[in-house]
Structure 1
Amino acid sequence: MAETNECHGTSPLLQIDGLCAGYGDSTILQDITLQVAPGEVLGIVGASGSGKSTLLKAIMDIRETGLIRRAGTIRFDGRDLSACTAEEYRRLRGAEMGIVFQYAGASLNPTRRIGTQFAEAMRAHGTYADAEITERAAELLRRMGFTDADHILDAYPFTLSGGMAQRAAIALALALRPRLLLADEPTSALDAVLQRQVLQILRTLRDEDGTAMLLVTHNIGVLRHIADRAAVIKHGRIIEQGAAAELLAHPQCADTQNLLSSIPRIGDPSPRLFHTQVSPPKGTPCAAPPLLHVDNVSMHFDGDAARIQAIDAMTFSLYERERLGIVGASGSGKSTAAKLLTGLLTPTEGRILLAGKNIVGASGRARKELCRHVQMVFQDAHGSFNPRHSIGAAISETIRNLCPPDEQPTDHRVAALLDEVELPASYATRYPHEISGGECQRAAIARAMAASPDILICDEATSALDTCVQEKIITLLLHLQKEHGMSLLFISHDLPLVSSITDRILILRQGRIIEQGRTADILREPHERDTKELLDAVL
């Protein structure tokens, strides 16, 4: 599809011609040509590692990661950005062009309260009184679905859930009403209800304020909901572009067709996935004791003004070889529950039994044994790696610390693990910032699998991946479960994905389990309003 868009008779706000860019000796983007008109939303979709995030970094001239623009031009409102000085680019960022990164940790300073970051961003581009800043920040946070804007403004990013931090980052990017918003997977950390809400906010910005957007996403539903036009990128090249509705309805390229065909749908599991029902039959006790039992566990945090109840009297079991899903809205306690199970947090009440032994407060040898039996893949893959260590060094560390001695050299074991998650062995020498979000997530999965755990906890482990790679990773996890008898605890806000791979699910709301049972039964006849809202909001 050769259409490049004539911007509906108006001059393009953003125009990219023949852009080539990369890192070191590697060229990632090749001959990229795109246009975005004022008030237009252009969606960029492609496989993990195709160059989507690199494109946004090239537009914003973010060179801290070693990015080099080799050829081509980028014009904003007719102005050649390659001729801008560092100071001129600084004035453009925030005021004229805003950016939302895939992970809120890349947008938010962990040492500054959210309110302070609003003040710093706005005062860097103008003179604003404290009252104006607070009013603008509170307005945006309320539009992002926060009912307690004052609390969020007073909070540090690390005290917020992934979805809450991402919404705060989006609000921060919009503080100065930029004419162009660059958004890298802005809704990937959000549940379906909040995803729709945030997309509606972005549509309002486009319709009422004329804000143009370059939206990177692997979620085809997001494209359908908001994009005017779409472009498909593969190996750093645009292979197809045109009107979003037409491209999604009648894709011409095989890669686009594969992306569309691999979208999981509720009640329609992929035939390529392994499905072996292992849960105890509904309403009857399991013959074997549970591998993991959470007994009346609660967890609270003491905030500046009040106690925050993150987990409230949670009780559930996970059986051998079972695939259990945990689903809930952003901030419902999903990630906190995962950290309790891995010993990263200590509950304020209750017991957590692993093979009948209480693991609460485990230390020393018991703590190491816990790490060997229970591994976790975090939501923020980049943040889970030491940025000063290569990917290979991180995986090697797990092998040395948690795995029994093996005659096979460690570097060979690392290469084999990378191959299992479809990463080249050469990635062992790369650093986290040198690979895409999806590639980094696969490397994190390889690191966790190095210990051959009995339980693998996946906290939004596929949220950064396009649907084709997502399906491959899920297939890989289920294959490993089948071969090694591993249990999976799958935490996600993606109900279609959870429905395609889990035996049972738990629905969380404000730290409480409000509904649990067989996946098919819950999705067919949900009893709780929260479950129904999550189902109704799926894009």
Structure 2
Amino acid sequence: MAEKLECHGTPPLLRIDGLCAGYGDSAILHDITLQVAPGEVLGIVGASGSGKSTLLKAIMGIRETGLIRRAGTIRFDGRDLAACTAEDYRRLRGAEMGIVFQHANTSLNPTRRIRTQFSEALRAHGTFTDAEITERAAELLHRMGFTDADHILDAYPFALSGGMAQRAAIALALALRPRLLLADEPTSALDAALQRQMLQILRTLRDEDDTAMLLVTHNIGVLRHIADRAAVIKDGRIIEQGATAELLIHPQCTDTQNLLFSIPRIGDPSPSSSHTQVIPQKGTPCARPPLLRFENVSMHFDEDAARTQAIDAMTFSLYERERLGLVGASGSGKTTAAKLLTGLLTPTEGRILLAGKNVVGASGRVRKELCRRIQMVFQDAHGSFNPRRSIGAAIGETICNLCPSDTQSVDRRVAALLKEVELPASYAARYPHEISGGECQRAAIARAMAVSPDILICDEATSALDTCVQEKIITLLRRLQKEHGMSLLFISHDLPLVSSITDRILILRHGRIIEQGRTADILRAPHESDTRELLHAVL
């Protein structure tokens, strides 16, 4: 793409020269120099906390977080964005520059239906009839893989799965056909099949509309499939950039090499634990009772006289010290199953047995004991913390609520937990927004481990992290599971990642388990077409 610029004399649509920016007294970006031509896709890759998201916020002029530009220029179509007023930015955002955030809950208003949000976005920049808005929204949602656009348009964001909400957010960002799309990990919440579909949509957008893109991702497969050029960022500095194929085949910097080497691959061994795990064979009765059992559990949601079946007659068991994977496409019911396990939702049918006792509808002491024995690490680590409370206060609150006998030594316990997840004790005084995604996820694991749970549920706990941090979190989870002897339910759409940590997996489709067995056996010789499609779609 660099050659294209030189040969045809095409000026860059976006040009950044010597950008320095940060929050308060903290410098985050240092001397950033980049350019993006019309129709070009520039990928930005780097470890967690390297400044990728801050770069996008600086371009879009998002100053609400306290971001300050200290030096350098950002030009869009030859215009210096430093001279833009708030009203200028309002006209640019959406119409000329679109942005997709990593987490859909950052992009979508939880109090408004998707239809209303399309209407607001389009009418802020022009005169559109209701029919035109519905037609444009439905067209985009169909391109995003939704078969029932009306259902999505009438839904609130919280009624959608993470992957469904992210696709709706991408559609919303494209509503006005912006000339530049800034995308911050736009596919991290999507399974491999949907990732491929989204990348094809973005390629079509680039080819047909000459849309330029600045794509932040930790997924090297995504980078390989769509980016013309790539830049590697570390500690707020660009350390390497060039044509994507050349950079991935012949990386010059050690940090780039480490990112490539840390990519999990199907077939990578899951280190066996020193204990004996009870993994039942099909058709063979297990010698020991399960720690947890779903028995014909169903869950449906009634919305506007329509019924959505999220879980359909699901039955499975989780044994002591077992590492079980729950895998499926976006919207297959993975997170709903986790919420049923933790008591955040009550099933419409069936039983959930913990150590042989039915915990459906538990309250009082039984409910409290359920919270102590089953803990969950969420996909959005920052969103799972109260932004007004320090990390130490959040962990301490969990201890005080569920283990009151330990309240005399809360500070010491918090420090020990942070050390166990390899964070400094000083992080107890920090707030969630003051630490990186990987650090926040470690803090979330520390909070979950504070009450020594019997079962730890990880719901897409590493999908938003770069491959190096993913590897560290997986290593941490393996060590904690082995040392504490807990059972692990690992929920993910990332099959290579699942294969690196689990002993057994369940494959979900439309709320039903369609295949289950030992991880190695399922991935080596899957019986169901859905499993084969998930494997084939791995980038």
1:295, 1:315 within 8 Å by CA — same for their partners in 2?
Answer: yes
User: Structure 1's 5 and 423: CA in aligned 2 closer, same or farther, altered over 3 A?
Assistant: farther
Aligned residue type for 2:237: R
User: For residues 462-481 of structure 1, what are the structure 2 equivalents within 5 Å?
Assistant: 462-481=462-481
Is it true that 1:21 corresponds to 2:15 in the alignment? no
User: Structure 1's 92 and 5: CA in aligned 2 closer, same or farther, altered over 3 A?
Assistant: farther
Match of 2:277 in 1: 278
Aligned residue type for 2:138: A
Match of 1:518 in 2: 518
Deviations 1:200-254 (A, max 9, x none): 0001111111111111111000000101111111111111111110000011111
**How big is the shift at 1:408?**
7.6
Match of 2:62 in 1: 62
Match of 1:379 in 2: 379
User: Structure 1's 149 and 73: CA in aligned 2 closer, same or farther, altered over 3 A?
Assistant: same
User: Structure 1's 28 and 296: CA in aligned 2 closer, same or farther, altered over 3 A?
Assistant: same
Match of 1:12 in 2: 12
1:275, 1:501 within 8 Å by CA — same for their partners in 2?
Answer: no
User: Structure 1's 291 and 86: CA in aligned 2 closer, same or farther, altered over 3 A?
Assistant: same
Structure 2 CA distance for aligned equivalents of residues 25 and 415 of structure 1: 27
**How big is the shift at 1:26?**
1.1
User: Structure 1's 4 and 372: CA in aligned 2 closer, same or farther, altered over 3 A?
Assistant: farther
Match of 1:299 in 2: 299
Match of 1:141 in 2: 141
**How big is the shift at 1:418?**
2.8
User: Structure 1's 424 and 291: CA in aligned 2 closer, same or farther, altered over 3 A?
Assistant: same
**How big is the shift at 1:274?**
5.7
Aligned residue type for 1:306: A
1:371, 1:402 within 8 Å by CA — same for their partners in 2?
Answer: yes
Task: Give aligned pairs, total.
Answer: 536
Is it true that 1:189 corresponds to 2:189 in the alignment? yes
**How big is the shift at 1:400?**
1.6
Structure 2 CA distance for aligned equivalents of residues 16 and 276 of structure 1: 55
**How big is the shift at 1:138?**
0.3
Other structure's SS at 1:64 match: coil
Other structure's SS at 2:35 match: strand
Match of 1:126 in 2: 126
Aligned residue type for 2:291: L
**How big is the shift at 1:276?**
6.4
Deviations 1:445-483 (A, max 9, x none): 221122211100000000011111111111111111111
2:321, 2:481 within 8 Å by CA — same for their partners in 1?
Answer: yes
Structure 1 CA distance for aligned equivalents of residues 61 and 476 of structure 2: 37
**How big is the shift at 1:23?**
1.4
2:270, 2:502 within 8 Å by CA — same for their partners in 1?
Answer: no
Is it true that 1:218 corresponds to 2:218 in the alignment? yes
Deviations 1:21-76 (A, max 9, x none): 11122111111111111111111111111111111111111112221112111111
Match of 1:321 in 2: 321
1:5, 1:242 within 8 Å by CA — same for their partners in 2?
Answer: no
Match of 1:204 in 2: 204
Structure 2 CA distance for aligned equivalents of residues 149 and 204 of structure 1: 21
**How big is the shift at 1:277?**
6.5
Aligned residue type for 2:524: R
Aligned residue type for 2:188: S
Match of 2:496 in 1: 496
2:399, 2:407 within 8 Å by CA — same for their partners in 1?
Answer: no
TM-score by structure 2 length?
0.96
Structure 1 CA distance for aligned equivalents of residues 207 and 173 of structure 2: 18
Structure 2 CA distance for aligned equivalents of residues 333 and 256 of structure 1: 36
Match of 1:253 in 2: 253
Which piece of structure 1 moves more, 390-399 or 91-100?
390-399
Match of 1:72 in 2: 72
Structure 2 CA distance for aligned equivalents of residues 421 and 236 of structure 1: 25
Which piece of structure 1 moves more, 358-367 or 485-494?
358-367
Aligned residue type for 1:399: I
Structure 2 CA distance for aligned equivalents of residues 308 and 80 of structure 1: 49
Aligned residue type for 1:378: F
User: Structure 1's 90 and 425: CA in aligned 2 closer, same or farther, altered over 3 A?
Assistant: farther
Structure 1 CA distance for aligned equivalents of residues 105 and 435 of structure 2: 16
**How big is the shift at 1:406?**
4.2
Aligned residue type for 1:354: L
User: Structure 1's 61 and 414: CA in aligned 2 closer, same or farther, altered over 3 A?
Assistant: farther
Structure 1 CA distance for aligned equivalents of residues 423 and 31 of structure 2: 25
1:48, 1:465 within 8 Å by CA — same for their partners in 2?
Answer: yes
Match of 1:43 in 2: 43
User: For residues 61-460 of structure 1, what are the structure 2 equivalents within 5 Å?
Assistant: 61-269=61-269, 278-283=277-282, 284-403=284-403, 405-406=405-406, 409-460=409-460
Deviations 1:67-103 (A, max 9, x none): 1112111111111101100100111110000000000
Is it true that 1:535 corresponds to 2:535 in the alignment? yes
**How big is the shift at 1:380?**
2.1
User: Structure 1's 61 and 6: CA in aligned 2 closer, same or farther, altered over 3 A?
Assistant: farther
Which piece of structure 1 moves more, 423-432 or 304-313?
423-432
Aligned residue type for 1:499: S
Structure 2 CA distance for aligned equivalents of residues 504 and 307 of structure 1: 32
Structure 2 CA distance for aligned equivalents of residues 10 and 426 of structure 1: 50
User: Structure 1's 134 and 407: CA in aligned 2 closer, same or farther, altered over 3 A?
Assistant: closer
Structure 1 CA distance for aligned equivalents of residues 365 and 56 of structure 2: 46
Structure 2 CA distance for aligned equivalents of residues 408 and 262 of structure 1: 41
2:279, 2:322 within 8 Å by CA — same for their partners in 1?
Answer: no
2:297, 2:315 within 8 Å by CA — same for their partners in 1?
Answer: yes
Q: CA-atom RMSD, angstroms?
A: 1.8
Aligned residue type for 1:231: A
TM-score by structure 1 length?
0.96
Aligned residue type for 2:193: V
2:95, 2:178 within 8 Å by CA — same for their partners in 1?
Answer: yes
